[in-house]
């Protein structure tokens, strides 16, 4: 269970948002919406613990994430704006390195299955630098298919994805929610899930 209590975020001298509160139980998905620059990314970075809120706190299973520290980090996957891929490595080398670092070592078979889930399995002979923007995004997101983490925090996962990849992602998120996972995502495009989506909108 993830809860945000009265979060306030200040960037420089500008207050981006204040009084943000919500609670998500297993199986729930939160879609964060708002115009550019309204603080969606900042909220996600606070939720994953990379940034600190000016006020308020984030709790995971009723404990502040600052106290859980590594335990909390072992429960989440964060996909940010950048794909966190090494341009000189192939897609599966990237996935395997990321999985090993995350403490979920995976085999070659699992990596290619994850890439196949996003339709980029056939590109595995190429270094990531040779891929298009959308293909890189797919490779970055295929980390999700490899991970058994409870909490997914996805920042603009649909950016530069085509219709088929969007569906693949929706399928993954649905399966994740059905397993009792929690997902928070930001998006400007509509996303269709089987599960009900809760919406949080910045004004």
| 100 near another protein, judged by CB under 8 A | yes
By CB under 8 A, the count of residues binding another protein is: 33
Compute the least distance from the CB of residue 54 to another protein, in Å.
Answer: 12
* Window 151-180: residues binding another protein (CB under 8 A): none
What pairing do the DSSP bridges indicate for beta strands 55-60 and 2-11? antiparallel
The span from the first CA to the last CA of the chain, in angstroms, equals: 26
Nearest residue (CB) to another protein, 75 versus 110: 75
What is the length of the chain? 203
Nearest residue (CB) to another protein, 66 versus 201: 66
Compute the least distance from the CB of residue 11 to another protein, in Å.
Answer: 11
| 51 near another protein, judged by CB under 8 A | yes
> Virtual CA dihedral for 49, 28, 85, 50, nearest 10 degrees?
-10
* Window 55-74: residues binding another protein (CB under 8 A): 70-71, 73-74
Binding mask 119-158 for another protein (x = CB under 8 A): --------x---------------------x---------
- The Cα-based distances of 30 to 64, 84, 133, 202 in angstroms read 20, 23, 26, 13
């Amino acid at each position: 269970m993830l809860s945000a209590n009265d979060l306030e975020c200040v960037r420089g001298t500008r207050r981006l948002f204040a009084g943000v509160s919500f609670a998500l139980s297993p199986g729930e998905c939160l879609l964060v919406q708002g115009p550019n620059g309204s603080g969606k990314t900042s909220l996600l970075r606070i939720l994953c613990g990379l940034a600190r809120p000016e006020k308020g706190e984030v709790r995971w299973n009723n404990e502040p994430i600052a106290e859980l520290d590594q335990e909390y980090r072992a429960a989440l996957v964060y996909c940010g704006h950048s794909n966190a891929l090494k341009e000189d490595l192939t897609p599966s080398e990237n996935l395997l390195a990321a999985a090993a670092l995350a403490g979920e070592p995976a085999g070659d078979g699992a990596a290619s299955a994850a890439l196949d889930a996003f339709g980029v399995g056939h590109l595995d002979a190429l270094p990531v630098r040779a891929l298009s923007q959308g293909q890189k995004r797919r490779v970055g997101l295929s980390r999700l298919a490899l991970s058994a983490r409870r909490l997914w925090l996805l920042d603009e996962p649909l950016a530069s994805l085509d219709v088929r990849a969007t569906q693949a992602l929706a399928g993954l998120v649905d399966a994740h929610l059905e397993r009792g996972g929690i997902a928070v995502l930001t998006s400007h495009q509509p996303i269709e899930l089987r599960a009900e989506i809760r919406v949080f909108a910045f004004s």
